Structure 1
């Protein structure tokens, strides 16, 4: 069958063999908004889309050990040693090149040299590029994109150079040469700007996003309640202001103060103004353990794309992604960060609309085995609810943008959940509880795996049974 997997990050990489077993044609759809780690340096100096998730998935697909090691290699954390190793890799003397076929080595070096030339040009107008912890794969992909002028084309060329399976596609959710950032509106009205700042902020920012009174966030807000969810005909009745465009209670995300000190001497790759929060370095961060000091001040209400001023924008999804979704037999909302890996894909209006309109495909959510900073205290129904509401809002705004939906649609809106999610697969021994009764009443089938993690063979068997 034709299988489309939505989600970025490394969590879904381990499940790749299960997806390969099921599919004749396999497509991975990935976000391009992660501004953390070494990617933040590329965005600062060169600009362009965030490609860390794409590089991670490509490396997982490479069968050649030499190429996998090269594109998966990270430079040391020590500044001078990192710069020295980068120079050795570019000039071809690094031990990483030992055993490489000469023609493959020169293809790879050509694009790394192209990246180096771009960094040298940018050195005139910005602070020097920080090479510590830099991913060679990210720098390679950047060089290919700059040379070809297309993100889609750069991914395809990289897959071919690395001799990856031609049945597998890697598709950025937005085909762009520009940077796209996201923000999260919290239920208390606060806004966190930037994907890394939402999911794994640098140490300098953790102290500023602690929970009020050091207490755990609650989910008593109306839009996160699991009570009174079920309506007639297995649908849910929600007010338009909770699902579509910003309401008066959401207006908090448009106002920003000037509390952060700006550095006027340094020029960034972005044209003109850039939101102060996006200037903060995200090079050094930790995947934080859950504790009271590092939780969000309140649960996330919704995620949205922003321009450099922090204002909401509605970009369009990649047309190639839309075509793959239209012909897919199964769409998988895979494991990973719900808010920052999955939502940036499905809040794109044309992508959400295509998923809803493909009534033949199974639409399967794999529930994570543990909480992260973004989803702490949520349950399985909350996961589904957030997906449904986010996609419904995206479809509504997309249709309004096309002027294909009349203004009479204002007021109560009926959402049929199983148009967005048809099946939920969860782990009995995982941290996140799933209320199967509520989901079943809503027309969503549930499948439990008696484990605390997804195992390839078991998952493949369950997914295969869904389509059968």
Structure 2
């Protein structure tokens, strides 16, 4: 079976054995918009796409423990110690190199040295690179990308150096050398800019929420998803754009654009994984996620052609566990990705419902998860048609809505999980539901469940 898994983050890493057991060909499509942690320093100084989720997935696919330790290694949280650790890794004297074959060590070191050289070049024009908490794997992948000039090629080289299974592909949802950021439009009209600011801001950036202002999500639920609500509305910024649907690929989105949104300048190196309580919730529910340029204007990048090809030929598409808003939606709001999923009528399209809430989804139930996926992809389809100039966008009432089953055919949830699933509501919409009697997804149980769903 050709299996495609959508969603990044660490949550899905524990499920890799289940996916591997099911597939003849396994493809992971991952977001490239996370601007938090040590990735924020790479974006600030060297630019390029966020690769933290990609590095994390590669590390969990590596069978060689020495390579896994190297690419999963994080530098000290103390500034001086981190810089000393980095220097000893680059010069090959750090203990993390113990046991490495000389040829593999020199391949890895060559790209780390290249990263170091690029950082030194930037020292004249930017504040010094902060090495604390830095991921060696991120710095390695960055060096490969800067040398080869291609994100796709850098991932493929890393997979081959690490001797990963050739039947497994890791594909960035956008193949780019630019930085892509996302924003969230809330139900109350507020906009939060930057993935880290949406999902795990520093405590100083959190807005306090009144208990009586907790999010009310997805009102007016119906069996037909809305088509193109507010899709023609674009946020005002400090400049105007003749074509708000213009693809961002040709825009200036390097490490030093002429202007960058003030929210994106805030350091995201140090953040807290905030507890889910009333003080740390969003001030209102998220209405939609969208990509932005450095000015904060909405742009419509296209998905990676390799991702589109894998989706077109897949037998099962899995919307995996992880952050719904900032890990899954940045993939499926890409117009050609949504279009390909819609057109693949052969594949089962399976949503795995998380076992617990996060800051972005607090208060939602399983049906509302599906609704947000459907509405987001419907909007992406309308934008895709409009972008091609072959479709005149009409009002929401003038376009024919698509059935939810075009995007999600099955929902797998946990009986003991925090997030409730209204099975009757989903089955009324034609979506099949399946429960696993557990609080969390266990590899064997999930593999058996997905095996039963294969077309």
* 1:389 paired to 2:375: yes
| Partner Cα separation in structure 2 for residue 382 and residue 240 of structure 1 | 17
CA distance in 2, matches of 1:449, 1:226: 29
1:43-442 superposed matches below 5 A: 43-206=43-206, 209-211=207-209, 213-215=210-212, 217-219=214-216, 224-225=218-219, 227=221, 229-230=222-223, 236=224, 238=226, 240-241=228-229, 244-246=231-233, 253-255=235-237, 269-407=255-393, 411-412=397-398, 413-442=400-429
Q: Offset of 1:240 from its aligned partner?
A: 4.1
Return the alpha-carbon distance in structure 2 between the equivalents of residues 99 and 48 of structure 1. 32
Q: Which structure 2 residue ranges, 5 or more long, are not aligned?
A: 240-253
Assess if the C-alpha contact under 8 Å between 1:388 and 1:420 holds in 2: yes
Q: How far, CA to CA, are the matches of 2:255 and 2:160 in structure 1?
A: 29
TM-score normalised according to structure 1 size: 0.92
Contact 1:302 1:390 in 2 (8 A): yes
How many positions carry a matched residue from both structures?
A: 440
Cα offset, 1:256, TM superposition: 7.4
C-alpha distance after superposition, 1:79-130 (max 9, x if no partner): 1000000000000110111111000000000000000000001010110000
Per-residue deviation, 1:467: 1.3
What is the CA RMSD across the aligned residues, in angstroms? 1.5
Q: Is the 8 A contact 1:226 1:381 kept in 2?
A: no
Taking structure 1 as reference, are residues 240 and 103 closer, same or farther at Cα in structure 2, changes over 3 Å only? closer
Displacement of 1:409: 7.1
- State whether residues 229 and 379 of structure 2, in contact with CA within 8 Å, keep that contact through their aligned partners in structure 1: no
Per-residue deviation, residues 363-393 of structure 1 (Å, max 9, x unmatched)? 0000000000000000001100000000000
CA-to-aligned-CA distance 1:13-43 (integer Å, 9 cap, x gap): 0000000010000000000000000000000
How far did 1:414 drift? Answer: 1.8
Matched-pair contact (CA < 8 Å) for 2:226–2:396: no
Aligned partner of residue 294 in structure 1, secondary structure: coil
Q: Which runs of 4+ in 1 moved over 4 A?
A: 406-410
Question: 1:374, 1:189 → 2: CA distance?
Answer: 16
Q: 1:141·1:158 contact (CA, 8 Å) conserved in 2?
A: yes
Deviations 1:47-101 (A, max 9, x none): 0000000000000000000000000000010110000000000001101111110
**Which digits, 9 at most, give the CA deviation of each residue in 1:163-211, with x for residues without a partner?**
00000000000000000000000000000000000000123312xx222
Asked if 2 retains the 8 angstrom alpha-carbon contact of 1:202 and 1:281, the reply is no
Q: 1:337 to 1:410 in 2, by over 3 A?
A: closer
Q: Give the 3-state SS of the residue equivalent to 1:170 in structure 2.
A: strand
Q: TM-score, normalised by structure 2?
A: 0.94
Which segments of 5 or more consecutive residues in structure 1 lack a partner in the other structure? 231-235, 258-267
Q: Distance in 2 between matches of 1:316 and 1:85?
A: 39
Query: Is the alpha carbon distance of 1:239 and 1:72 closer, same or farther for their aligned partners in structure 2, counting shifts above 3 Å?
Result: closer
Q: Distance between the aligned counterparts of 1:273 and 1:139, measured in 2?
A: 25
